Amino acid sequence: MTLKLTDGTVITPFRTIEQGVVVIEGHQIAYVGTKNSNVPKGQKIEINGCYVSPGFIDIHVHGGGGHDVMEGTLDALDTIAQTHAKGGTTAWLATTVTAPIDEIAHALHAINQGMIAGLESAKLLGAHVEGPYLHPDQAGAQNPVHLRLPDPREYFLLLDRFPCTRRVSVAPELPGALELGNELRKRGILASIGHSNASYAEVLKAIEAGFSHVTHIYSGMSSVHRVSAYRIPGVLEATLVLDELTTEMIADGHHLPPSLMRLVLKAKGTNQVCVVTDAIAAAGLGPGQYQIGGLDVIVEDVVPDEYEVKLGPGSYVAKLVDRSAFAGSAATMIMLVRNLVNLVGLPLLEAVKMATWVPARILGLSTERGLLAPGFKADLTVFDENFNVKMTIVEGKIVYRSEL
Ligand SMILES: [Zn+2]
């Protein structure tokens, strides 16, 4: 079937096309441009001055709609995909947490199955394995009881059995972690520095061993400390200064104040930083008590008086019950794009790029997703000037639609 979206502002995201047209043939984009006599024919959908951009790609999702990836069922994955599709997400990495290895294997099995079966809504790109090879001092909401050192017998089995694995977050300073990094690089899996206490020098070794990305900047990472009179930079400073590393920001407005998001972007530029939700089951739901990886978490909108900005109603976040740390977000991708524009002050084009082309490139998918261009997968998000998602299209199929 051929669909023709007309009268919208097209964000490719390298330029905007006013009164633009996007034509979709089957699973692919056939035309992007202005109205003219060469535009292919198709079933017309007027998008009435809304924006149309590539679909959002979220490379760090634990849950949504009341369900968690660790449930290890196709039903849970389906609900999570549908919940995030309402927030404009068209492709995502299902993210596991630190748990006994058989529970992680159970979740990965479902992700493998989900990729074979194909979910009805947002495309399941694969798994992001976050833990158990993380540093206990930077565990955050990862259950410290189940943290372990990388063991080749264990991870070879996991990687061989579950080809869905596309990304692994590891603390590279742990004994055996560099060998794991090398193995991931060999297999074309994104090796990400996460929940790590590494020093700057250890980060350099990690880069040599194949680590190229850093998990949720500012969360679960070392920063500068002193040894006698001398300053030893940590993962945070290494990420900010080293162009070899890409990173991701949880731009839900809670995890990072606008000033720190600006600092990250000043240091790295918008081409090296994507946004992720790091969403838990609470995404798409209201405040309350939830569970993630066997830990109780609370979801609320309470922000300290000293915090830099007041956040609008409905801007919830998950915390450990003692409120000592965040436990993931309750956001969907459209909220992050909105925050980049409204809180950080980025041009819309740049904000959209950080939710589309940049994550596609980080995952090695930028020849097929993350850009509105002929031949690319027909993954599109339509939203209005108030950042309400109006329509989400995955590989040419409308998976979510509200009133236009
Ligand atoms: Zn994390």
Distance 215 CA to ligand 1 centre (A): 7
Distance 297 CA to ligand 1 centre (A): 14
Pairing of strands 28-34, 317-320: unpaired
Q: Which residues of 277-314 are buried (b: 16+ CB within 10 A; e: fewer)?
A: bbbbbbbbbebeebebbebebbbbeebeeeeeeebeee
Q: Which residues pair with 382 in a beta bridge?
A: 52, 391
Q: For 346-388, what is each residue's pLDDT tens digit?
A: 999 999 999 999 999 999 999 999 999 999 999 999 999 999 9
Distance 402 CA to ligand 1 centre (A): 32
Q: What is the mean pLDDT of the chain?
A: 95
| pLDDT for res 327 | 84
- Report, as an integer, the average pLDDT of 155-182: 98
Q: Would you state the structure tokens that stand for residue 231, as one six-digit string?
A: 């300053």
The CA distance from 20 to 34, in Å, is 5
Q: For 179-192, what is each residue's pLDDT tens digit?
A: 999 999 999 999 99
Distance 220 CA to ligand 1 centre (A): 7
Q: Would you state the structure tokens that stand for residue 352, as one six-digit string?
A: 């959209």
Domain 56-362 top-level CATH class: alpha beta
The CA distance from 287 to 314, in Å, is 9
Say if residues 240 and 234 touch (Cβ distance below 8 Å).
Answer: no
Distance 79 CA to ligand 1 centre (A): 21
| pLDDT for res 140 | 86
Q: Which residues pair with 7 in a beta bridge?
A: none
Q: For 210-246, what is each residue's pLDDT tens digit?
A: 999 999 999 999 999 999 999 999 999 999 999 999 9
Cβ neighbors of 63 (< 8 A, separation 6 or more) are 69, 76, 80, 279, 280, 281, 282, 283, 292, 328
Distance 397 CA to ligand 1 centre (A): 32
| pLDDT for res 344 | 97
Does pLDDT of 293 surpass 70?
no
Distance 249 CA to ligand 1 centre (A): 11
Domain boundaries, the chain: 2-52+373-401, 56-362
The reply to whether 278 belongs to the active site is yes
Q: For 242-278, what is each residue's pLDDT tens digit?
A: 999 999 999 999 999 999 999 999 999 999 999 999 9
| pLDDT for res 292 | 67
The CA distance from 194 to 139, in Å, is 9
Say if residues 62 and 68 touch (Cβ distance below 8 Å).
Answer: yes
- Report, as an integer, the average pLDDT of 316-345: 93
Q: Would you state the structure tokens that stand for residue 70, as one six-digit string?
A: 């660790």
| pLDDT for res 133 | 98
Choose, from 58, 68, 278, 379, the residue flagged as catalytic.
Answer: 278
Global pTM value:
0.97
Domain 2-52+373-401 in CATH 2.30.40.10: yes
- Report, as an integer, the average pLDDT of 300-306: 91
